[in-house]
Amino acid sequence: MDATPEALEMISSTLPQTGTTSFLATTMTMSTQSIDNALHNIQDHATKVSGAEILGIHLEGPFINPSKHGAQDAQYVEKGNISLIEPYMNKIKMITLAPEVEGNEDFVKQLTLDYPDVILSLGHSDANYEQSKESFKWGVSHVTHLFNAMTPYHHRAPGIVGATFDSNVTCDIIPDLVHTHPTILELTYRMKEDKLILITDAMRAGCMKSGVYDLGGQEVTVSEGKASLADGTLAGSVLKMNEALRNMTQYTSMTLLDAVNAVTRIPAEKLGIKKGALKAGYDADIVIFDEDFSIISTIVAGEVKYKRG
């Protein structure tokens, strides 16, 4: 959201330390002008960064439900509106939205029709079980940071989580042991298996020390591996990609191979890109790490972008 080439370069050149070879530049709910500036900046500069590759844009907001805004600024939430993002659709790969908001059914159906390759993801949403299932029929095929900023999993009202568990949509989860309890990670893995993707949801303090930072115009305090707003709301994470793997293999029954797939092959297939497998015709993105998940080297498109000193 800084909307500068320097900010993109800072993210791109830092991420290889964590074993990240490519990522979606993710915007959040701010004023229309701020979002437009950020999208414009990514469109112009995404291919010029020197470290991890920018695969495109994940628009997380503003088309969400203000009641589940989390750390997104609720005053800037908008109803689905293709004209706001149309100039950037060549770069937008994923949109997190709340399908239950009035007008968003048409928005989802129109996007599915006009941009079938864009991943539409249910998130920051108050949809109930039935509304969630219905949205999967319209074209929503993924769920963003399952359990966080959505209707909870209640035995009489299974909500978004229940709908995710009994359908074949993919979902992602933040395995930092702060956003979700280890038993929830295990449950989700058992229910979703190869439909589960691990994400960091990292904000700007990722790879930085504890302190006070800005996230989408709001003040965030980072301490003891937790990023939160003044009222205690979780505000993104400071999780690193290699730590996500370590946590899943340590706290759940996920094997190393399955954990690696959940950050390589599975998201790459979801995005429809030739990454996530070591074979001819695929990008030479390779991460070498030790038994403690400490990164030894990170190779992006055949070039070493990080090497442990």
Q: Which of 73, 126, 172, 201 is catalytic?
A: 201
Whether 285 sits among the annotated catalytic residues: the reply is no
CA 84, CA 271: separation in Å to the nearest integer?
23
Catalytic positions: 201
